Amino acid sequence: MNPKKPSDKRELCYPFIFETRLSCDYEIATDELCCQVGAALAQLPRQDNTQEVASDLEAIQRLIYHLNGSVRGRLGIVETDIEWLKKRYDHYNEATKGRVTGFVLPQGPQPVPTLHLCRCGSKKVVRWLVRLEESGARFDPILYRFTNLLANLFFVLTVYLKHLWDIPESTYISINY
């Protein structure tokens, strides 16, 4: 028996798990990101003033799974997705205008730390796209745009929630730059 092709499908967690191509690692990273967004949703207090954040996170989860299959399969991210993300970014950014003017520490009540992990997870997905392209994979550059924008949206969501809850940002001043 080949342990990489078990006859019992319960012993195989993902059809592509034994591939050596980087696309599998990219897909696992996007799956992890989608799970992190789900964790943020579960931690979000269900209040009237957070309902639009919840709705946006639910929409983002679906978009992340479209992103997931966009390297191996058919492109699932389109220009209207970019425009929607930009509108959501602008909305939250405008609502918190002037609140953050430099680096801040990634802290606060849940789901703020989880949204910061989503931001980092988005950056990891961008890095996987870089590695994929470096290895010869070809995909639409819209994936770079979408994923970078997604990281920025997660950051502005953390600022927005802390603004709603009147929680101050903790400024970080680097000694390195």
pLDDT at 3 over 80: no
Phi, psi of 6 (to 5 degrees): -65, 145
Confidence band, pLDDT 50/70/90 cuts, at residue 7? confident
pLDDT at 45 over 60: yes
CATH class of 22-164: mainly alpha
Q: Find the mean pLDDT for residues 118-146.
A: 98
Confidence band, pLDDT 50/70/90 cuts, at residue 42? very high
CA angle 127, 133, 138 (to 5 degrees): 130
Give which of 141, 13, 125, 116 is closest to 65, Cα–Cα.
125
Domain definitions of the chain by residue range: 22-164
142-161: pLDDT as tens digits: 999 999 999 999 999 999 99
Give which of 120, 106, 114 is closest to 169, Cα–Cα.
106
Residue 141 structure tokens: 């550059």
Residue 88 structure tokens: 């959501």
- Written as one letter, the residue type at 2 is N
- The Cα 154–Cα 157 span in angstroms is 5
Per-residue pLDDT at 158 = 98
Query: Pseudo-torsion of CA 155, 158, 160, 166, nearest 10°?
Result: -140
The model's pTM is 0.94
